[in-house]
Amino acid sequence: MGTETKDYSLKCEPARAVLSGQFSLSNPMEFENIFAEIQQGIEEAGDSYTIDVVGTHFMSSSGITALARVVMHARKNGKKLVLVVDEGMLWQRKTVVALQNLWEKLEIRKQQG
């Protein structure tokens, strides 16, 4: 399952979501609709869920907010959440710091994009 447009792609597998492209949507509710699939995946997952954003070269602040809401959702559901990032990308490097401030148990894995 997932969503694919000419700008971005979201692929959802059991216990894993892969986001790639450019997420610059006009409306915060559009992000909520996309990320609702990830939140459902978290609820249905076993102990752990992974979100891979290595291939996402831009996400707007509305998208980062939606991502933060997913982190809080995992925290409330008692699920381990792993965020896979490319430290070479400024937005990912900076966002990871902020998201870890929301939940210190958020696990970060660094990969080269």
Per CB under 8 A, residues contacting another protein are: 24, 26, 28-29, 31-32, 58, 60-62, 64-66, 68-69, 71-72, 89-91, 94-95, 97-99, 101-102
Contact criterion met (CB below 8 Å) for 60 and 24: yes
How far is residue 38 from each of residues 43, 87, 105, measured CA to CA in Å?
9, 22, 19
Gap between the Cα atoms of 57 and 77, Å rounded: 29
CB of 34 to another protein, least distance (A): 12
Q: Which is nearer to another protein, 46 or 67 (CB)?
A: 67
For residue 10, list its beta bridge partners.
3, 19
Q: Which is nearer to another protein, 46 or 90 (CB)?
A: 90
Q: Which is nearer to another protein, 46 or 97 (CB)?
A: 97
Q: In degrees, to the nearest 5, what angle opens at C-alpha 36 toward C-alphas 21 and 67? A: 55
CB of 103 to another protein, least distance (A): 9
